Amino acid sequence: MSDSNPSFFARIFLAWVAYFKTLFDGDFAAGVVRLRAGQPALPPPREEKPREEPRREAPKKKKKPKPAPVIKEAGPDAALQLLALLQREGRFIDFLEEDVSGFSDEEIGAAARVVHEGAKKAIDEHFSIEPIHEAEEGDTVKVKKGFDAKAIRLTGNVVGEAPFEGELTHRGWRCAEVTLPKMSEGHDPTILAPAEVELS
């Protein structure tokens, strides 16, 4: 028996195998069809298409982290200057440092009136202060979307997002202008009020 001319029994076995192979294998059946048509049993080799290089996605721009808030350290000079003005005009520090536990309410009230008048004079002379909200306290007001959270503080049952509606409990204050007196060179701002010595 040679490979090109199988024996009778080999052909029976081959026909048996080819029968079931043709039934259950589509590629094999296609080869049989090609053979019957006088073509090679194997299909012609497929031309391989050049592989397309995967598209490189543009690198995603990394979101720049938000810069940390800069903490400014306030110098003490302006605060000391304000304390000195309140002391000069309204005896503010004298009032705070006084032990008032032995005074009656009437005496404390009289002293507070003097401090109030003098402190108001100092503030009015050197600071231009205006209310943040124009409505009157107790009025119902609307807080629009995008409101300045530094200028308006929400209290109570704060749920959801603006706009909100509520009662104005405090108008708030904003300083529009500051005109503190200039300090001369050599001035010591820590001296809020000089000690006074009356000579006889």
Nearest to 84 by CA among 197, 172, 18, 180: 180
Percent of the chain with pLDDT over 70: 76
Please tell me the number of Cα atoms within 13 Å of 170 on its side-chain side: 8
Higher per-residue confidence, 78 vs 63: 78
Q: Which two tokens stand for residue 67?
A: 């810069």
| pLDDT of amino acid 2 | 46
pLDDT above 80 for 142 = yes
Would the pTM of this model clear 0.85, i.e. be above it? no
> Domain spans of the chain?
1-42, 76-154+161-178
Query: Predicted confidence band at 175 (pLDDT cuts at 50, 70, 90)?
Result: very high
Q: What share of the chain is helix, strand, coil (3-state, %, to 5)?
A: 35, 10, 55
H-only helix segments in 37-131: 76-90, 92-97, 105-126
